[in-house]
Amino acid sequence: MIGIIGGTGIYSPDEFKIIEKVNPETPYGKTSAPLTICEIKDKKVVFLPRHGEKHTIPPHKINYRANIWALKELGVERIIAPNAVGSLKEELKPGMLIFPDQFIDFTKRRDYTFYDGPKVVHISNSEPFCPELRKLLFEKANKLGFESSNKATYICIEGPGFSTKAESNMFRQFADIIGMTLVPEVKLARELEICYASISMVTDYDVWKERDEVSADKVKETMAKNITKVRKLLLEVIPEIPEDRNCVCSRALEDAQI
């Protein structure tokens, strides 16, 4: 089963046959919203809006552990996670789709692990995203003619406010895109041996670029255009995701315990 963590606009009943909605209980509390189980070309897909059905949950208040745990309990083995990001590089333009290969965690007060003791686990994050999913997403994006990149470092900040200019210029030295929702989502997925890939939708140039500063309205406007691309991409990718997994994600716990 495949999990999609993103906004409600990603799926539509015309393309994804909705089977049911479930509202699971987890040891970590409630998920952001009920999970919608759909079907597309014999593939089961679970949609979860990370900010809630009406976008009422800010990034620092999302119950990431409940969300990832619930997807695992439903049998999800792969997660594709669309999210909005700002660009820290001139060449990564608004409207592009980015499939990052690395991240830097600049968040401050989130729940980052399922292993709070007494069991101690140290998960490797050297290659944090699933290479199989990233490769497939990038290939299909190119086939559809979408401007994209599969080489980028995502820096995740706490939010919900945007960066200062000083912060944005500092982040530019180390990262390519900036957002608020990747961490700890990606870390928690790896702890449960779920493959994870981000579709990072560039909406703006953050605040480092003069006369092109980020705003909520600008993000929403570009997001609306990107959602159409992402929906087309998912329709292309989902039927071709293989049953077998041969990636590091599926073996993450093998050498993680001390």
CATH classification of 2-251 is 3.40.50.1580, yes or no?
A: yes
Active site residues: 204, 206
At 224 the pLDDT is 76
Quick: pLDDT tens for 30-44. 999 999 999 988 899
- Asked if 249 and 120 count as a contact pair (C-beta separation under 8 A), the reply is no
Give the C-alpha separation, 42 to 17, whole Å: 10
Which DSSP string corresponds to the chain?
-EEEES-GGG--TTTSEEEEEE----TT---SSPEEEEEETTEEEEEE-TTTTTT-S-GGG--HHHHHHHHHHTT--EEEEEEEEEESSTTS-TT-EE--SEEEEE--S----S--SSS-B----SS-S-HHHHHHHHHHHHHTT--EES--EEEEE--SSPPPHHHHHHHTTT-SEEESSSTTHHHHHHHTT-EEEEEEEEEE-TTTSTT----HHHHHHHHHHHHHHHHHHHHHHGGG--SS--SGGGGTTTT-B-
Asked if 184 contacts 68 with a C-beta cutoff of 8 angstroms, the reply is no
Q: Diameter of the chain by CA atoms? A: 52
CA distance 229 to 235: 10
pLDDT at 11: 67
> Is the pTM here over 0.85, yes or no?
yes
Q: What is the distance between the alpha carbons of residues 147 and 110, in angstroms, rounded to a whole number?
A: 33
Give me the residue spans of the domains in the chain: 2-251
How does pLDDT run along the chain (258 residues), one tens digit per residue?
A: 999 998 656 766 667 888 999 999 999 999 999 999 999 888 999 999 999 998 899 999 999 999 999 999 999 999 999 999 999 999 999 999 999 999 999 999 999 999 998 988 999 999 999 999 999 999 999 999 999 999 999 999 999 999 999 999 999 999 999 999 999 999 999 999 999 999 999 999 999 987 666 666 666 777 777 888 999 999 999 999 999 999 999 999 998 876
